Amino acid sequence: MRTAAAAIAFLILTSTVWGAEGPQRKRIVMYKGEQLVVTTEGSIATVTAPAGTNDGANQIVRYVFDQYGRNIALQALKVGEVKLLVENTDSQIGEIAHVIVTDKPTSDRYRYVVGALTGIQGIASEDIHVAGDQVIVTGNVYSVPDLSRCSVLETQKMAAPAPPPRKPRNAPAPLPKILCMAHLSSGAPAIYPQLGYIPAVSLQINETASAMSGGPTTGMEGSSSWAGIVRLGDIPVLTLTSPDRVQLIARAARFAKKLDRSVVEWKKQAESNRVYPTTFNARLVAGTYEIGMTWKYDQGTRGEALIGLTPEELQQASVRSGGGSDRLIQWWSGILQDAFRLYYLATRPSRTLSSAGQGPLLPLYQNALRLSGSNFERSNAPVALARSYFSIKSATGKDPFENLLTQPPADFQPGPITQ
């Protein structure tokens, strides 16, 4: 059993690498009490953890390394996470092993998901995250069947572990949640429109190492910040940043799942009822900015608040946008509104336009019209917009929405925010 687990750990550790500059960043997930031997890529001079993160009562992982060898023996002592800095014999930090210790059911679920998604192009082990009791899948997939293969994990039952033989009356703990937040690439439908396209709600998680003057900061190799970007189809609709990985992933995933759930409910009701109007609004409630989705059908009103953000959480993005939090949160609600209008109503964006009638989402719409001719309607809008996005990105060589969330038009004037 330990040999199989060690093999999985070796695969995960050696295949998870971010960035070309600075130390290689790798991740390994363990459960409390587990022992593993992992292998590094270079010869080890020493292994350390940032001060105060793995000491005394705070010790999460006990480790023993083979000096001048390539093996590190790990023993998970308590739930938590720590970064181990591997200094090579050239006196440089060559690798950073991000060790996440969780409970055994969550660890089992994580490995189950890694195994279930093996072979799907675009999803690697670094795209599968553990945050609390949740396992969250990000990354890119290139076909609707691959996206479905990921999505089915949310409801698929994993065989529960048998109770310990000496305590047959103990029931297994509830299994943690799985969320599929992978992004469906627009590349496949751009080339083969008949394959279809689903404007799925997706989540992208980025880790940024501490840096100065564009390069890694010596002595702070274990420090980093985290960012989450939520997209509807190819359009980014929200970004969050935090030094706390678990908090960041949990918050971003909660918003993404709420948005996905609301869109699914809207689609079901739109099939049998006249749904009007559908709005995304921002408001300030007790010092917290909320973005909500609401719609009316028959005699009822449905919808929910998707997220609440404090001014402190918006500060970094507000500074980058050159405006205040009121303006930024209304810009984001406008992007959500127009992204929804494009993908689900096949209508022209309106709330992200400047006073001159221009806006960052307008070229996507205009190019979709050109590619589909007069046949741009609800049934084919997702494929037409995917083809439009792909052609614009291919022509320019960059993501046309790279700075969408933090660069509203200079004359964007949303008016006073609702309180």
Lowest mean pLDDT across 94-98, 237-241, 415-419: 415-419
Q: Tell me: do 230 and 373 sit in the same domain.
A: yes
pLDDT at 6 over 50: no
For residue 27, the enclosing domain spans: 2-101
265 falls within a domain? yes
The amino acid at residue 243 is: P
Considering the entire predicted model, what is its pTM? 0.87
| CA–CA dist 239, 141 (Å, integer) | 21
Lowest mean pLDDT across 27-31, 178-182, 355-359, 386-390: 355-359
114 falls within a domain? no
Query: Which of the listed residues 65, 82, 101 is the one where a domain comes to its end?
Result: 101
Lookup: tokens for 185: 């690439």
| CA–CA dist 261, 229 (Å, integer) | 18
- If we measure between CA atoms, which residue out of 108, 227, 129 comes closest to residue 179? 129
- The domain total for the chain is 2
CATH of the domain at 24: 2.60.40
117 falls within a domain? no
Residue bearing the bigger pLDDT, 69 or 354: 69
Lookup: tokens for 78: 């308590």
Query: Which of the listed residues 101, 118, 140 is the one where a domain comes to its end?
Result: 101
Distances, alpha carbon 353 to alpha carbons 222, 233, 339, 357, 408, in Å:
42, 20, 13, 5, 9
Q: What letter would DSSP give residue 353?
A: -
pLDDT at 10: 39
- If we measure between CA atoms, which residue out of 246, 132, 235, 135 comes closest to residue 183? 235
Q: Tell me: do 88 and 191 sit in the same domain.
A: no
Q: Tell me: do 393 and 244 sit in the same domain.
A: yes
Query: Which of the listed residues 60, 75, 101 is the one where a domain comes to its end?
Result: 101
Centroid of chain to Cα 89: 36
- For the chain, the first-to-last Cα distance in angstroms comes to 58
Which residues have CB under 8 Å from 10's CB, separation 6+? 38, 39
